[in-house]
Structures are given as structure tokens and as C-alpha cells.
Amino acid sequence: MAAAKRILSGIQPSGRAHLGNYLGAMRQHIEMQKDFECFLFIADLHALTTVHDAKQMQNNTYDLAVSYLALGLDPEKTVFFKQSAIPQHAELCWIFDCLVKMPFLERAHAWKDAKAKGKKEISLGLFNYPVLQAADILMYQPDLVPVGKDQKQHIEMSRDIAETFNKTFGETFKIPEPFIKEEVAVVPGTDGQKMSKSYGNTIDIFAEENELKKQVMSIVTDSTPLEEPKDPKKCYVFNIYKLLATKEEIKELESKYKKGGFGYGDAKKALLAKILEHFKEAREKYKTLYPQKDMVYSILENGSAKAKFLAEKMLKEVKTKVGYITR
């Protein structure tokens, strides 16, 4: 039997898990545990580009770990770890830094967006973000990197960095492929833009019910009166609903929109009910797991020990290739 293919992905602990994270990435991570060898990590080194408060970093990290476990991450199947526990990521990043040219990084969307928004003082960490991500990925030689569409460029940059290293120092790194599910590549937020923690337009899957309700009710809609027919395709509420519902449920809601006499408030109620139903088990598990700090931390520690074993091996090979290890 051929060895299982390997996947690797990471999420920054920069806020609470939202529907975009879940549909675009986390759901695939959990599903792929069946058939792949999985590596998943909490990208806390990357999160330091925006989170500058120790308590917040700790809380976000813990919350993300509990969220993954509640959604079905099985630590027996997945190596689940914290990026900052593996110093080799930063070490490999430096080695790549010495090969990567600045104009290459100036093409990165995150940097270009920050500049376009008129941000003058961008940290070196943010500029260098894609190189650290390449180190995260290439360290573990994955075949696939399951992510949302916004991460496509980062995976392409990782591939380029791997090729540059291989050309300079000899075949070392496997070239990874992005794995992006087209129908959930970009989940819209409450204002119709890409759902993102940085836009404040998220629907947080583990928020308390009243908070979740507030987020759903805040979805922007047009001013078509209740009695008139509506175009479901143009409505963010419907576009989010359809990502969670069955074909029949989608058809049913679609015909209610088209018939008229069905308001956006009704649609929002249907969406909220759908979210609560879809995440019922996960939300209960989240509540049960949250107080079990020792257990959650030891899962991450065990995962980190496994990841470190591989990272040390890879870094030894890299250091040999660049000429640091002589005997």
C-alpha cells in the first residue's frame, strides 16, 4: 500500500474561529484526517504581526485549540502543535531570507494591501510573513496545503522559495500544492466582503448565542420591501446559508425569496437556526472542553514534540546543505 499523502496547514490565533475559517479551511482539515497524514498548527509567530498583548495571544491560542478539538480534530490522527514551540521555523526562515529578494516580497498581496491603505510603518515581520510561511510548509514536506483562496499566493511563493533553495543547494524540498475548495474559496462576511477578522465582519461559530444572533442580524441587505419577490443570489444571507444547507433546504429558501412575502429578517432567522443546528454538537463539545486546560495544553505539547522531531531532522539536512555542519 502506498504511504498516505501528507497535508499541512496553519491558522493564526488572531481572533475567534469564524464561518470563513471553518468552511474555507478547518472543515477540510478535519475531513482530511481520514485519508491523509495531517499536520496542523497554530500560527502564533505569524499572529505577532498583529497581536501585541500577551494575555490576548494566550487566550486566542487556547480558544483556537479548543475550537479545533470541538470540531473533531483527533490528536491521535493529526499532529497538532504550536508554531512557537518549534524554533526551527524561525531558523529556516532566516536561511530562506538570505535567498529571497525584496522585489519578490513586494509582490505579496498582504504587503501591497497594507501599502495601498496608506500604512507607512509596516513591520519587518509583516513584510517577511510569506517567508516564514514557506518555512512552516517546506519544513514538513507536505503534498497538499489546504487553505482558503486568500492564501493561494503564499503557497505559490513557498513553491518558488523551495525551487530557489533546491537550485542553489541541491534537491532538498518537496514542492507543495495548494488545496482550495472552489465553492467555499471565499466565504462572504456580514458586509459582503471576504469574511475576515481584520474586517470585523465575521460570524464566530463558538460565540455565545446572543452574540451570534447579533452578528447574523447585522448582515447587510438591500431595501426591497417584505412583500416583494427577491433575488436570492444577490443576498449575502442566502449566499452564506447555501454553504451550510442541503440541496432541498436551499431550494426551499430560494423559492421563499422568489415568491415574496418573505423578509430579510425571516431569512436571517433561518440562517441563525441553520448555524445553531450545524454546530450544535461542536458548540456543546467546546463548552465541555474549555475548562479542561491540562488536557488541551498536553495535546499541543505532545503534538509539538512530534513536529519537533521532524523539524530537527529537516533542519539538519538544510544546515548540511548550506555548509554549517561539517562533522
Contacts of residue 61, defined as CB under 8 A and 6 or more positions apart, other chains included, come to: 13, 42, 44, 82
Q: Min. distance of Cβ 242 from ligand ADP in angstroms?
A: 14
Annotated catalytic residue: which of 197, 242, 256, 274?
Answer: 197
Q: Is 194 a catalytic residue?
A: yes
CB of 299 closer than 8 Å to CB of 80: yes
Annotated catalytic residue: which of 5, 112, 115, 316?
Answer: 115
CB of 203 closer than 8 Å to CB of 212: yes
Q: Is 24 in the site for ligand ADP (CB under 6 A)?
A: yes
Q: Is 197 a catalytic residue?
A: yes
Q: Which option in ligand ADP, ligand TRP, none does residue 154 bind, with CB closer than 5 to 8 A by kind?
A: ligand TRP
Of residues 136, 241, 286, 303, which one binds ligand TRP by CB under 6 A? Answer: 136
Among 42, 311, 315, 4, which residue's Cα sits nearest to residue 143? 4
d(CA 180, CA 178): 6
Q: Is 137 in the site for ligand TRP (CB under 6 A)?
A: yes
Annotated catalytic residue: which of 194, 230, 256, 268?
Answer: 194
Of residues 78, 84, 151, 215, which one binds ligand ADP by CB under 6 A? Answer: 151
Q: Is 306 a catalytic residue?
A: no
CB of 106 closer than 8 Å to CB of 68: no
Of residues 150, 249, 254, 266, which one binds ligand ADP by CB under 6 A? Answer: 150
Ordered DSSP codes for 154-188: HHHHHHHHHHHHHHHH-S-----EEE--GGGSS-B
Among 181, 123, 133, which residue's Cα sits nearest to residue 160? 133
The grid cell for 285 is: 463539545
Interaction site with ligand ADP (CB under 6 A): 11-12, 14, 20-21, 24-25, 147-148, 150-151, 184, 186-187, 194-198
Interaction site with ligand TRP (CB under 6 A): 8-12, 43, 46, 133, 136-137, 145, 147, 151, 154
Q: Which residues are catalytic?
A: 115, 194, 197
